[in-house]
A = this chain, B = another copy of it.
Amino acid sequence: MLVLGVDPGSRVTGYGLVQKTGNVMTCIHAGSVSSSGNRPFNERIHRIYQSLVEVIEHYQPEEMAIEDIFVSKNARSALKLGHARGAALIAAAQCGIKIYEYTPLEIKKSVVGYGRATKEQVRSMSQIILNLQKRYGLDTSDALAAAICHLNWTRF
């Protein structure tokens, strides 16, 4: 099964495609959409949507895994994050792929075995699980972790 993991953010949205064959998980492709810069906020949000639609259409994942966020530093950053996360959800829905949401605690427990793991620990474990040579940015590794978490859950 091929799963797209997404870590939405108003500045950087990470994504990663993880394939599971038997008990082996492999990263097929991973990257991030940078939406910072001088362009208007609504163009940045549209770019997240467009980029994820392109990734989905190209790689044809069967399902999407995304972090279920219910806390944020403040209302202003939560509002911005909501736009980015909405863009990811609409991209998946428009492409007809099913969406699975996991709390940060579930993802960290599933990947590192410890719910309060740091982002760096999540990256290190994701690299080991996927046997990655490349060290991705933290947004991308968080996206890969969401995909790994989903593939771990669907095992049962």
Contact = CB atoms under 8 A, between A and B. Distances in A.
Interface of A: 40, 42-43, 45-46, 49, 69-87, 89-90, 92-94, 99, 101
Number of copies: 2
Given A75-B72, A78-B75, A46 B93 contact: yes
Ordered nearest first, which 4 A-B pairs have the shortest CB separation?
A82-B82, A86-B86, A83-B86, A46-B93
Given A45-B86, A90-B49, A76 B79 contact: no
A99 to B, nearest CB: 5
A99 B92 CA distance: 23
A46 B90 contact: yes
A40 to B, nearest CB: 8
Contacts of A76: 70-72, 78
Contact of A73 (B73, B75, B84, B94): B75
B72 A78 contact: yes
Nearest to A89: B42
Looking at A70, A90, A93, which has the most chain B CB atoms within 10 Å of its CB?
A: A90
Contact of A86 (B40, B72, B87, B92): B87
